[in-house]
Structure 1
Amino acid sequence: MSAPSSRSLFRATKAKPVADARQGALHGDDWPEHVAPREDVRRADDFYPTGQPEAIRALLARDGARIMPLGKVWEPCVGAGDMARPMVDAGLTVLGSDIVDRGWPDTAIESFYDFAAAPAPAIITNPPYAEINARDGHGRWLRHTLDLPEWEYCALLLSWDWPAARANGLGALLDAHPFSYCYLMRWKLDFTGEGSPPQRNAWFVWDRRWAGVEPAFRWMDRDDDRQAALDLADHIKPLEPDAGE
């Protein structure tokens, strides 16, 4: 004879739930309002100004030996000049263009994609993320940059995890044309002015005179004097003499 089961006893002695008189039943309009998940709504023209000058100042502190001799910089998303102004203060000539005039003097109102050649030997900008990422832009901005002649040095300020995306051809593009080196910024840039910026950023640099085999990695701090300078002479190819010389 098998032993009696304790399940029936447990069911008989289990306490029954007691209704709380303080709680009213939810009927009709009493249901809490359903809030749809927040959509990632980008600003018009994907305009997120780099309002913190230390981003460009840190780049000039690290790569000034490479940038300054070039003399001129093209800022194709110049906006109100948040990035252009520190470069001018450093002694560079900045040629600004944008699709909207936001107040920088002598802005050329022209789409980046309408340029057939770079108007300066250096390109330094914070490109619209929707045009360069894998999901929306399919890397279009980078592809056009790489196709442009007449530039030697290009630094793009982007989200740190940007190059990890491989979808829509961006991975293949970076495999074929990797950046020369990057600087991971060890502080966060507040592009929206709303505080608590969610992402890390980095400067990704393509240098057509770079002699390295694999992309190099460097830290970047606000106070660049604490860092050892990148010895560009060990990695930059010397200029080839003109055929007529």
Structure 2
Amino acid sequence: MTAQPSLLPSGHTAVMASRAPSIDGLDYFPTPPWAARAGAEIIARVDPGTWKVWEPACGGGHMAHGLTDYFGEPFATDVHDYGWPGCRIRDLDFLSAEADELTEFDWIITNPPFVMGDEFVRAAWRRARRGVAMLLRLVFLEGGKRYRLLYEDCPLSIVAPFSERVPMVKGRWDPEASSATAYAWFIWIKPDAGLPQPAHPILLPIPPGQRTALSREGDVAAFNGLADAPLFGGAAA
């Protein structure tokens, strides 16, 4: 197998590269833009309005690209610099005290590293003014410790599983990929939002056909021509 090219943007010095987190440890699976739009459709339905959105694990910008259709350009940050020019703050750890200073956002919407999902939910719940939406594997519902997170500490409002698979590949977006992993949008509505609070999470399945309905002609082209092309699209080397 051909070695993958460096995922650091050109121009990084050796010192900067040594300070950057290891790409292998980032659990980075770029979100197909159509899957981001599927979550945005639900949020726009339950909480219509012009909201300020923070995407704190923006990676190469795939999630933010899909969200822009509904909320305008999100405030995008990431702990790692993937070279995407839309990232507003590079090398910002969402779980850090520094990130606690960003409190002016209505919704926090992201596809977090699954291994840090619990911590991302708690941090987002603490900071968002109206709601939180996380794209996660459906198995995020499982686990005794997670029961307290989802049903007591940060009461879950909506679970929206995809009826069709959402293919995600580590380290790159491959529009032609397939997957056996089930994903869902997990949505939390804050009490201060003034919206109805369900006694139990609402199951809101995302129907089949959304991959076609919510894909846009310019999605793939939006990520062509960027540094380290295999990160942003196309088949693996």
The normalised TM-score by structure 2 is 0.66
**Residue 198 of structure 1 aligns with which residue?**
180
**Residue 48 of structure 1 aligns with which residue?**
29
Check conservation: 1:186, 1:219, Cα contact below 8 A: yes
Alignment-mate amino acid for residue 29 of structure 2: Y
Q: How many residues align?
A: 173
**Residue 141 of structure 2 aligns with which residue?**
163
Alignment-mate amino acid for residue 197 of structure 1: S
Q: Does 1:183 align with 2:165?
A: no
CA distance in 1, matches of 2:105, 2:155: 22
Check conservation: 1:179, 1:206, Cα contact below 8 A: yes
Select the residue among 191, 194, 204 that pairs with 1:218: 204
- Cα deviation for residue 93 of structure 1 reads 3.0
Question: Secondary structure in 2 aligned to 1:64?
Answer: helix
- Cα deviation for residue 210 of structure 1 reads 3.7
CA distance in 1, matches of 2:41, 2:122: 28
Q: 1:78 to 1:119 in 2, by over 3 A?
A: farther
Select the residue among 58, 64, 86 that pairs with 2:66: 86
Look at both structures and tell me which one has the larger radius of gyration over its CA atoms.
1
CA RMSD of aligned residues (A): 2.2
Check conservation: 1:78, 1:97, Cα contact below 8 A: yes
Q: 1:175 to 1:106 in 2, by over 3 A?
A: closer
Cα-to-partner distance string for 1:90-131 (whole Å, 9 max, x where unaligned): 352310010112214242121101211434101110010011
Check conservation: 1:122, 1:154, Cα contact below 8 A: yes
CA distance in 2, matches of 1:161, 1:143: 18
CA distance in 2, matches of 1:165, 1:112: 24
Structure 1 unaligned segments of length 5 or more: list them.
1-41, 133-138, 225-245
Check conservation: 2:64, 2:74, Cα contact below 8 A: yes
Check conservation: 1:73, 1:95, Cα contact below 8 A: yes
Cα-to-partner distance string for 1:138-177 (whole Å, 9 max, x where unaligned): x2222222232x42111100011211122xx322222313
CA distance in 2, matches of 1:186, 1:78: 25
- Cα deviation for residue 53 of structure 1 reads 1.7
**Residue 242 of structure 1 aligns with which residue?**
none
Q: Does 1:141 align with 2:120?
A: yes
Alignment of 1:1-245 (within 5 A): 43-50=24-31, 52-66=32-46, 69-102=49-82, 103-109=84-90, 110-114=92-96, 115-116=99-100, 117-132=102-117, 139-148=118-127, 150-166=128-144, 169-176=145-152, 177-192=154-169, 193=174, 195-208=177-190, 209-223=195-209
Identity of aligned residues (%): 24
Question: Secondary structure in 1 aligned to 2:184?
Answer: strand
CA distance in 1, matches of 2:61, 2:196: 29
Check conservation: 1:67, 1:122, Cα contact below 8 A: no
**Residue 227 of structure 2 aligns with which residue?**
none
Per mean C-alpha deviation after superposition, the further-off stretch among 154-163 and 115-124 is: 115-124
- Cα deviation for residue 222 of structure 1 reads 4.7
Question: Secondary structure in 1 aligned to 2:59?
Answer: coil
Alignment-mate amino acid for residue 162 of structure 2: M
Structure 2 unaligned segments of length 5 or more: list them.
1-22, 211-237
The structure showing larger relative contact order (alpha-carbon pairs under 8 Å, at least 6 residues apart) is: 2
